[in-house]
Structure 1
Amino acid sequence: MNRDDTAYTIWLSLGANLGNRGETIREALRKIAAIPATCLWQVASFYETAPWGKLDQPGFINTAAAVRTSLPVLAFLHECQRIERDLGRVRHEHWGARTIDIDLLAAEGQRFDTEELRLPHPYLTERAFVLYPLRDIAGRLIVKGKTVAAWCEEPAIKSQAIELAAELDTPWPLRLIAAIDENRGLGIEGRLLAHVPDDMAHFKSLTAGNVVIMGRKTAESLPKEAPLNDRINIVLSRSLPALPGFIVSNGLADLWQILGEIHKAHPDKTFWCIGGGEVYRELLPYVRVAEITRLRGCYKADTWLPELSGFQLDHEQEMEQGSFQRWLRIDRERNDNGDIS
């Protein structure tokens, strides 16, 4: 993808302290990535911070993001305000609790000083919960004559309580792996369509040592009390109380908490959704990379993989029975050259 010469960078601060704070911020980032003429460029780590201004409220999770957009600044601001409304933001009181807060911090080559918008943000250099995440993605950005990294070393900033949150810090924390036929068929009566040695080796090479997430039927199809070796096995089920060898998650909110704890302890592990059909449908909105084994021909199937809308084919490798395909979400982070990373 070629870089758009009309695009420029806007840096944002996001925060939430009501409800499922981390997932609310991730959903806000997914919606920002869907704004027309806009690319979500970078996302900082998530930070746990004490309330600011009005102290009798829950703590916040905060992060920063950078976007590349061709929209005028005020048009982009209005899109962010729409996202706040969509996610339940109601502006009852200044500095009060809120479901989601999206602030524009700075815009490349532009300044504003109006009642509607001031850029750079007037409080940018006063708040650790703004500066620390911003340092992750734009430490050399100059604000009021100093870099963001230098502002973070000011005693008044270092004295503020802030720490890395035990939260997943990406809008799309999951990867998906599946084998399908030419009709997108996945399986029949709880079984795979075919046992293809190359596909089995491919599956093992990608998921070994990582985390696999599956539905109840997939979990129960494995040998009794013997989940996949050398992997952390999670079963997503709202009715299953326990299953030997598995971590049981009873819903998405619970799943994000489990994955956040695993990520904190094992930051190098990746999270793989491995089926079946219902779990693929439920988790696809949170998938960044899909590894698909495309089998030649059509099989009798009763379960199908949803369409990978919002993805594009990145790589394909032929094999005897078909091909291995890698699909990447279109709204994904890019490197400083504008290339896909």
Structure 2
Amino acid sequence: MRRTAYIGLGANLGDRGETMRAALRRVAELPSVNVERVSAFYETPPWGKTDQPPFLNAAARIAFDGTPYELLAGFQRIEQELGRVRYEHWGARTIDLDILHIEGLTCADEALSLPHPYLTERAFVLVPLYEIAPELCIHEKSIVSYYDEIDRTGIVRAPELSAPYPLMLIAASDAAGGIGRNGQLLTHCAADMAYFREMTMGGIVIMGRRTMESLPARRALEGRENIVLSRTMERADGFQIVRDLAELWTLLGRLVYDAERPIFAIGGEECYRLLLPYVHRAYVTCLAGTYEADVFLPPLTDFVRTGCRRREDCIFEIYERV
């Protein structure tokens, strides 16, 4: 039976952000699990035992097959793989994975209590859960009500990326922000083509259907894993097709499980707009002049330029999320 569950993640030792993302990738890799939505990462003060570093906390909604105990066992394996050591109750930990709530199910035994007994009492659980499931009801009371009543002092969105995968964006745009015209690039710039190949080779590239159709002979880019986001496409040789972000996260969980591979959004406009909230770095080639573009790069309003260099007629800029 397919069930919907809400889970909590926490870490306060080591590289917290990357550990949280690694945990989400491994959850997505579990054969019976689909990760459907992930909250932002929040920095939260320690709870219970206060003489320890601040935590990163997040919540996720998943769909899974099997029993809650099988899911719990999978989570415990992931904790062990990522170096979880249980030094003391409520103490510091590398990673913590908790099952918070499973729709239509309650239980209370030594192994598992559902809903989680502290779910409605802990702001570090309620804040990320409220973000992804404000309509949820626990003990016949809405998450909104619990959220409004809880003390949220000291809880802020963390500077670490708030997504399971640290994505990058790469694009070429003219002075007006245009990136394409009539389903094609604005212009052929040899320096930009070489730069794009250099940056993306060996990595994963994510594109929309129209960008895929604009590739020469609609052939996949060699030396890279090609993913197309499309609700209408069924298959295309050399490409993996995903219909939405949930399928994308699940696929990426398989592709980057044991290897660090750069992941780039490469266009077009709709693909950029959908993935921009998950992008931490953008590589933008500034083309000389303006063209009669009909698609545009979404504004990088949450980014700051950190690098710039010129090659031939192009200026290559690097932007980092603030």
1:71-220 equivalences in 2 (<5 Å): 71-154=66-149, 157-174=150-167, 199-201=184-186
AA paired with 2:217? R
**1:162 Cα deviation after fit:** 0.6
For 1:21, the equivalent position in structure 2 comes to 16
In 1, the alpha carbon distance for the partners of 2:62 and 2:101 equals 11
SS at match of 1:276: helix
Q: Compute the RMSD of aligned alpha carbons.
A: 3.6
Unaligned runs of 5+ in 2: 172-181, 248-273, 275-322
- Structure 1 residues 108 and 304: alpha-carbon distance in aligned structure 2, compared to 1, 3 A threshold: same
CA contact (8 A) 1:174 1:289 kept: no
1:307-322 equivalences in 2 (<5 Å): 307-308=225-226, 311=227, 314=230
**1:131 Cα deviation after fit:** 0.2
Deviation by residue 1:75-97 (Cα, 9 ceiling, x = unmatched): 11111111111111111211111
Deviation by residue 1:152-211 (Cα, 9 ceiling, x = unmatched): 111xx2254211112221113426669xxxxxxxxxxxxxxxxxx97533999xxxxxxx
- Structure 1 residues 294 and 28: alpha-carbon distance in aligned structure 2, compared to 1, 3 A threshold: same
**1:12 Cα deviation after fit:** 0.3
For 2:198, the equivalent position in structure 1 comes to 276
Say whether residues 1:295 and 2:216 are aligned partners: yes
Say whether residues 1:50 and 2:35 are aligned partners: no
AA paired with 2:198? G
Say whether residues 1:333 and 2:246 are aligned partners: yes
In 2, the alpha carbon distance for the partners of 1:161 and 1:92 equals 25
Greater shift, 288-297 or 81-90, is seen at 288-297
CA contact (8 A) 1:172 1:288 kept: no
For 2:288, the equivalent position in structure 1 comes to none
TM-score, normalised with respect to structure 2: 0.61
**Structure 2 residue corresponding to 1:38, chosen from 29, 33, 42:** 33
Unaligned runs of 5+ in 1: 1-5, 179-196, 205-217, 223-273, 318-322, 335-340
SS at match of 1:161: coil
AA paired with 2:246? E
TM-score, normalised with respect to structure 1: 0.58
CA contact (8 A) 2:35 2:246 kept: yes
CA contact (8 A) 1:175 1:289 kept: no
Quick one: percent identity of the two aligned structures? 40
**1:14 Cα deviation after fit:** 0.5
- Structure 1 residues 304 and 72: alpha-carbon distance in aligned structure 2, compared to 1, 3 A threshold: same
In 2, the alpha carbon distance for the partners of 1:41 and 1:13 equals 14
CA contact (8 A) 1:314 1:327 kept: no
SS at match of 1:25: helix
AA paired with 2:123? A
Between the two proteins, the alignment pairs up a number of residues equal to 231
Deviation by residue 1:293-323 (Cα, 9 ceiling, x = unmatched): 532399xxxx942344xx5673799xxxxx9
